Amino acid sequence: MIRIYVDQVSERLLYVLDFVLRDRGIEYAVTNDRLFFLDSQGVRLNYSEYELPDVINFKPASVLFDEDIRKYEIATEDFEGEECLCFDGTDDPLASIFYLLSRYEEYLIPAVDNHDRFDMTKSLQVRYGWVEKVMCDRWAEAFIRYLSRHANDEIAVFKPPLTMVPTFDIDNAYAFQLKEGVRHWGAMAKDYMKRDRIRLSERRQVMSGARKDPYDTYELIESTSDEGFDVKVFWLLGDYRAYDRNISFRDPRHQRLIRRIAQKATVGIHPSYRSNAYNSFLSEEKQRLEQILGHSVLHSRQHFLKLSIPMTYHRLLKSGIKHDFTMGMADRVGFRAGTSRPFKWFDLEKDCVTELVIHPFAYMDGTLNEYLDFRPEEAMSKISSLYDEVRHFGGEFTFIWHNETIGDYGKWEGWKKVFEFTLSLK
C-alpha cells in the first residue's frame, strides 16, 4: 500500500493514480489529513508544495489540481531516464500522463487537416519525437522506479500479458457485388470512359459468378477469429454520399453478411463521414445496425478517423456507445494518447472521468501504404518496432485493416502478408 498526501484530492489526480498504480496491481490511498498521513506506515509520498519529514517529497505541477483548461509553459526535463514534461517550470510525470491521456492539447490547438482531424504535426509527441513510444506507460514505470529508489524497497509491478486485437473497417462491402441499378451502370460507364478493360472484365466475371469479388475477404476475417484473436469489425451504414459509399443497409444480402460476421467477431458501428457534423446521423446509423443484429451496439470507430474532442465523445456517450476505437492517427503510426492500454475518457470540460472506454490503435493499413508509401517489407519492420514497444510496457496491440486491403488486389497486391506477419508476432 502506498499512502499519498495532497493538499487537495482531485478527480484528475485519482484518474492518473489509477492508471499509474492500480492498473499495475499497486494499491494506494490518498489523504489530505496531514497528521494521519505522518502517523501511517509503509511507503509514503508527499505530493504537495511543502516538504514533510521522513517521507518521499515530490513537488507537483498544478495540472492535476486545476479545474479549468488553460495553457502552460511547456518544456522537458529528464526524469528517471525518461524525457518528461515540465509545466511552468515544474517537471511532473503524473501531470505529463494526464496531459497526454486526456488529449489536453486538442482542446487548445485549433489546427486540423482537410478532414477536420487534429493536426498531429502540432502535437507534443511529434515535436519531441515521442509518437512511436508509449510515453504514459514509460512515465508510469519511471515514477514507480522513483518511489522504489527513495523508499529503499522494490515495488512489485503487475504487467498483464499483451493482447493482440485485429480490427477491420467495412467501408465498402464489395467491389462489384450488390451494386445494382444506377451504381452498377454508372460504374460501368466510368470504366468505359477510362478505357479500363481490366476492371470491366473483372466486373463482368464477378457479376456472372465466374470470379469471387476482390473485396470478399470475409473468410480470412472469420479464420482470424477462429485462431483465437479478439476480432472487432466496424460497419459503415450511412446513406450514400461522397465519402460514404457502402452498399445500402436495406439490402437483405448485405444484412445477412453482417449477421454472418457477427457470429465470429464483435460488430460495431462505423459512423459515417457526415455523422460528425450532424447529431441525428450517429443514432440513426447505430439503430440500423442494432435492427440488423437484434441486439445493442456498444462499440464504434469513426469513419476516416474523424475524431473531434470532446464533441465526438459526447455524441458517442449520448448514443449509448461504451467502447471507441478511433484513438490513433491517419498520417502516421504510433500512440496518439501515449499508451496502448484501454483507458476511460476524461472529459476536461466537465472535469470528470466518463464511462467511455478508449481503445488506442498502433497502426492502420492505409497509413503504411498510402500516407507513408512503405513497401510491404518496410511496413513489417515498422510494425515489429511498434509491437516491441507494446510488448515491453504492456497493453493491447490494436491495429486497423479493411476487407479490401487484405485481398492482394490492386494497389494492395502483396499486402496480405503484412497482415499475416502482424498476427504471427503473437
Given this model, what pLDDT does residue 203 score? 66
pLDDT tens-digit profile of 37-77?
999 999 999 999 999 999 999 999 999 999 999 999 999 99
What percentage of the chain exceeds 70 in pLDDT? 95
Query: ∠323-328-330 over CA atoms, to 5°?
Result: 130
Query: Whose CA is closest to 413, among 369, 382, 372, 381?
Result: 369
pLDDT interval class at 189 (50, 70, 90): low
Residue whose C-alpha cell is 475524431: 307
Given this model, what pLDDT does residue 200 score? 66
Pairwise pLDDT comparison (211 vs 186), residue with the higher score: 211
pLDDT interval class at 381 (50, 70, 90): very high
Question: What gap in Å lies between CA 90 and CA 81, rounded to an integer?
Answer: 17
pLDDT interval class at 426 (50, 70, 90): confident
Q: pTM for this structure?
A: 0.94
What percentage of the chain exceeds 90 in pLDDT? 86
What number is the average pLDDT over the span 234-243?
Answer: 94
Query: ∠45-47-50 over CA atoms, to 5°?
Result: 110
- What is the rounded average pLDDT for all residues in the chain? 94
Residues 215, 175 contacting (CB under 8 angstroms): yes
What number is the average pLDDT over the span 277-288?
Answer: 92
- Residue 185 in this model has a pLDDT that exceeds 50: no
Q: How many residues does the chain have?
A: 426
- Residue type at 55 in one-letter notation: V
Given this model, what pLDDT does residue 177 score? 86
Question: What gap in Å lies between CA 67 and CA 69, rounded to an integer?
Answer: 7
pLDDT interval class at 208 (50, 70, 90): confident
Given this model, what pLDDT does residue 54 score? 95
- Residue type at 404 in one-letter notation: E
C-alpha distance across the termini of the chain, in Å: 34
Residues 244, 236 contacting (CB under 8 angstroms): yes
pLDDT interval class at 266 (50, 70, 90): very high
Residues 121, 113 contacting (CB under 8 angstroms): no
Domains of the chain, start order: 2-151 (no CATH), 163-175+214-424 (3.20.20.370), 178-210 (no CATH)
